[in-house]
């Protein structure tokens, strides 16, 4: 190989990604030869791929390794987030199976796109170079755009895909613009080198860097969906098929969090006073507008969209604390959020059936009479989102609040608390509809056994992790400590 003059990179740290990519291509080919009634083969292969990928990640050494000329990093934070991405994507596919089956979307494309989206997220999480970050982000985004448009004869879905694509492209543009300024000011695109270039320069080109940071924050803000870059969130959540909404509303938030960590912390930590101020503004606006607007929604997907906006505001609060304590609690918040979001959208999927979306708040009326157990699962999810003990959502909020309090932003903690009280109202309304009102239709709820099992486990995990939050909390905080 010497003769080519090209050093062969160490492939081992990227083994999970390589496996995922290979498997996705294989499934794409296999699916071509399958008849509709044997579609379960590609479905099972997809789940097996995700399981194998999670296994490969989990069996790593847990050390921080750079490869591909320091463009790619595998550290504990990446490992933890990637395992959760695999679990979340697998969960999404299981939740969505009945829904997509009833709507003619139970096809190989969906599985392959889901795997590519997962691959994009994993690349984003592990990137330590601006270009690779961007590549991962685009791989994820393009897969998501196409997944939204998969139901091609549904007008809302196509409209949502269009909106998502246009605004997503704008966000990518902003991000790229910011990256180019960072590159211009520091002369490098490797995150660690950017950090040392800023630290070493005796006269850093502050205004170029500052502008770059502003564009990067705006771009990431779009991807996270925080105010004032949130306009696409409710429309896309609403228009997309629910099985895709659950995808957009869960796993990619973990990747966006990693993006935030890599860009703002690994590369631009020296600029903390710049981005901290921006994040304060974004988080307060997200909490206020997310929570207030959610109150007036009648469609549960829109309501959950606005609730997502406010949750992302909380994540930003953790990040802007600007220390390991804050990053760790923000990561814990994201993971907790994904768990809750999966359960909430899972419930919407559970109630939907052929020709019935179950996406209005009123569709939850009297659920306690139809199925006490699933009403209880939703009750736990809603109280967890509202941040009430003993659920995981409470500890997520607690850890973020203590981090920002310790960082000297006591007023922000008070504002966040007051705004989450407003948020409690619309979560309570769901509980009210389920428990206090009479049901409108008594169609029996008959999910497939795998979905029944997973949704129950998901709901219980919210409670169990609320009673014993230590393992997950310690995992998130330790992985951040060993990575940054």
Partner 1 sequence: MNALPLLSTVIWLPIVAGIVILFTGSDRNAGLARLLALVGSIAGFLVALPLWTGFDATAHGFQFVERAPWIETFNVFYHLGIDGISLLLILLNCLTTVLVVIAGWKVIDTRVAQYMAAFLILSGLMNGVFCALDGLLFYVFFEATLIPMFIVIGVWGGPNRVYAAIKFFLYTLLGSLLALVALIYLYLAAGNSFAFQDWYALPIPFYAQVLVFFALFFAFSVKVPMVPVHTWLPDAHVEAPTGGSVVLAAIMLKLGGYGFLRLSLPIVPDASRELALFIIVLSLIAVVYIGLVALVQADMKKLIAYSSISHMGFVTLGIFLFNAVAAEGAVIQMISHGFVSGALFLCVGVLYDRVHSRQIADYGGVVNRMPVFASFFMLFAMANAGLPGTSGFVGEFLVIMGAAKVSFWYAALAGTTLILGAAYTLWMYKRVVFGAVANAHVAALVDLSAREVLFMTVLALCVLAMGIYPAPFTEVLHVSVNDLLAQAAKSKLP
> Contact residues for partner 1 (CB under 8 A)?
368, 372, 379, 383, 388-390, 394-395, 398-399, 401-402, 405-406, 410, 413-414, 417-418, 420-421, 424-425, 428, 431-432, 435-436, 468-470, 473-474, 477
Q: In the complex, what is the shortest distance from the CB of residue 10 to partner 1, in angstroms, rounded to a whole number?
A: 34
Closer residue to partner 1 in complex, CB, 106/435: 435
Residue 323, classed as helix, strand or coil, is coil
Q: In the complex, what is the shortest distance from the CB of residue 298 to partner 1, in angstroms, rounded to a whole number?
A: 17
Q: How far is CA 73 from CA 12, 63, 132, in A?
A: 11, 10, 11
Closer residue to partner 1 in complex, CB, 271/330: 330
Q: In the complex, what is the shortest distance from the CB of residue 182 to partner 1, in angstroms, rounded to a whole number?
A: 34
Q: In the complex, what is the shortest distance from the CB of residue 399 to partner 1, in angstroms, rounded to a whole number?
A: 7
Q: In the complex, what is the shortest distance from the CB of residue 201 to partner 1, in angstroms, rounded to a whole number?
A: 36
Closer residue to partner 1 in complex, CB, 55/425: 425
Instruction: Round to whole Å and give the CA distance between 97 and 216.
Output: 36
Q: In the complex, what is the shortest distance from the CB of residue 326 to partner 1, in angstroms, rounded to a whole number?
A: 13
Helix (H) or strand (E) holding 66: strand 65-67
Q: In the complex, what is the shortest distance from the CB of residue 406 to partner 1, in angstroms, rounded to a whole number?
A: 5
Burial of 169 (0-12, 13-18, 19+ CB in 10 A): middle
Q: In the complex, what is the shortest distance from the CB of residue 423 to partner 1, in angstroms, rounded to a whole number?
A: 10
Closer residue to partner 1 in complex, CB, 116/395: 395
User: In this structure, how many other beta carbons lie within 10 angstroms of the beta carbon of residue 1?
Assistant: 7
Q: In the complex, what is the shortest distance from the CB of residue 175 to partner 1, in angstroms, rounded to a whole number?
A: 33
Instruction: Round to whole Å and give the CA distance between 228 and 281.
Output: 10
Instruction: Round to whole Å and give the CA distance between 38 and 444.
Output: 28
Closer residue to partner 1 in complex, CB, 116/332: 332
Closer residue to partner 1 in complex, CB, 263/480: 480
Closer residue to partner 1 in complex, CB, 449/471: 471
Cβ neighbours for 55, distance < 8 A, ≥ 6 positions apart: none
Q: What's CA 357's distance to the chain center, in Å?
A: 23
DSSP letters spanning 172-207: HHHHHHHHHHHHHHHS--BHHHHHHHHHH-SS--HH
Residue 391, CB-side half-sphere exposure with 13 Å CA sphere = 22
Closer residue to partner 1 in complex, CB, 180/369: 369
Q: In the complex, what is the shortest distance from the CB of residue 248 to partner 1, in angstroms, rounded to a whole number?
A: 30
Instruction: Round to whole Å and give the CA distance between 402 and 410.
Output: 9
Closer residue to partner 1 in complex, CB, 207/425: 425
Dig out the tokens for 316 from the structure.
Answer: 């930003």
∠ CA 447-453-458, nearest 5°, is 110
DSSP letters spanning 113-157: HHHHHHHHHHHHHHB-BHHHHHHHHHHHHHHHHHHHTTSTT-HHH
Instruction: Round to whole Å and give the CA distance between 304 and 290.
Output: 10
Burial of 24 (0-12, 13-18, 19+ CB in 10 A): buried
Q: In the complex, what is the shortest distance from the CB of residue 388 to partner 1, in angstroms, rounded to a whole number?
A: 6
Instruction: Round to whole Å and give the CA distance between 65 and 47.
Output: 28
Closer residue to partner 1 in complex, CB, 148/475: 475
Closer residue to partner 1 in complex, CB, 187/372: 372
Dig out the tokens for 220 from the structure.
Answer: 């990431």
Q: Which residue has the tokens 């959502």?
A: 393
């Amino acid at each position: 190989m010497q003769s080519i003059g090209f050093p062969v990179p160490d492939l081992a740290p990227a083994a999970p990604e390589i496996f995922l990519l290979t498997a996705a291509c294989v499934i794409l080919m296999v699916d071509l030869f399958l008849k509709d009634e044997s579609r379960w083969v590609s479905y099972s292969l997809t789940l097996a791929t995700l399981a194998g990928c999670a296994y490969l990640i989990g069996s790593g050494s847990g050390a921080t390794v750079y490869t591909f000329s320091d463009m790619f990093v595998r550290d504990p934070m990446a490992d933890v987030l990637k395992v959760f991405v695999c679990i979340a994507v697998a969960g999404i596919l299981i939740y969505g199976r009945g829904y997509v089956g009833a709507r003619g979307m139970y096809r190989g494309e969906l599985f392959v796109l889901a795997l590519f989206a997962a691959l994009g997220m994993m690349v984003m999480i592990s990137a330590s170079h601006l270009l690779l970050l961007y590549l991962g982000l685009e791989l994820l985004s393009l897969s998501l755009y196409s997944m939204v448009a998969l139901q091609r004869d549904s007008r809302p879905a196509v409209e949502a895909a269009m909106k998502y694509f246009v605004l997503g492209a704008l966000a990518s543009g902003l991000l790229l613009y910011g990256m180019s300024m960072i590159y211009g000011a520091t002369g490098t695109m490797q995150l660690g080198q950017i950090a040392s270039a800023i630290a070493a320069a005796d006269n850093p080109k502050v205004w170029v860097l500052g502008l770059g940071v502003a564009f990067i924050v705006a771009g990431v803000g779009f991807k996270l969906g925080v105010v004032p870059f949130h306009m696409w969130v409710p429309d896309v959540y609403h228009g997309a098929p629910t099985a895709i909404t659950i995808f957009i509303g869960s796993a990619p938030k973990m990747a966006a969090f990693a993006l935030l960590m890599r860009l703002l912390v690994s590369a631009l930590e020296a600029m903390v006073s710049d981005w901290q101020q921006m994040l304060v503004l974004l988080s307060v606006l997200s909490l206020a507008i997310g929570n207030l607007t959610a109150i007036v929604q009648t469609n549960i997907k829109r309501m959950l969209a606005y609730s997502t906006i406010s949750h992302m505001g909380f994540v930003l609060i953790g990040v802007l604390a600007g220390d390991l304590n804050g990053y760790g609690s923000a990561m814990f918040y994201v993971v907790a959020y994904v768990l809750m979001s999966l359960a909430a959208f899972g419930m919407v999927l559970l109630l939907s059936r052929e020709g019935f979306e179950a996406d209005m708040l009123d569709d939850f009326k009297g659920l306690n009479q139809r199925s006490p157990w699933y009403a209880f699962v939703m009750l736990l999810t809603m109280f967890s989102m509202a941040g009430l003990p003993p659920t995981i959502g409470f500890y997520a909020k607690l850890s973020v609040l203590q981090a920002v309090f310790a960082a000297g932003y006591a007023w922000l903690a008070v504002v966040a608390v007051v705004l989450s009280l407003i948020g409690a109202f619309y979560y309570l309304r769901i509980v009210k509809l389920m428990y206090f009102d009479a049901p409108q239709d008594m169609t029996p709820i008959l999910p497939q056994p795998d979905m029944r099992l997973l949704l129950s486990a998901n709901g219980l995990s919210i409670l169990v992790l609320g009673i014993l939050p230590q393992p997950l909390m310690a995992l998130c905080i330790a992985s951040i400590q060993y990575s940054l």
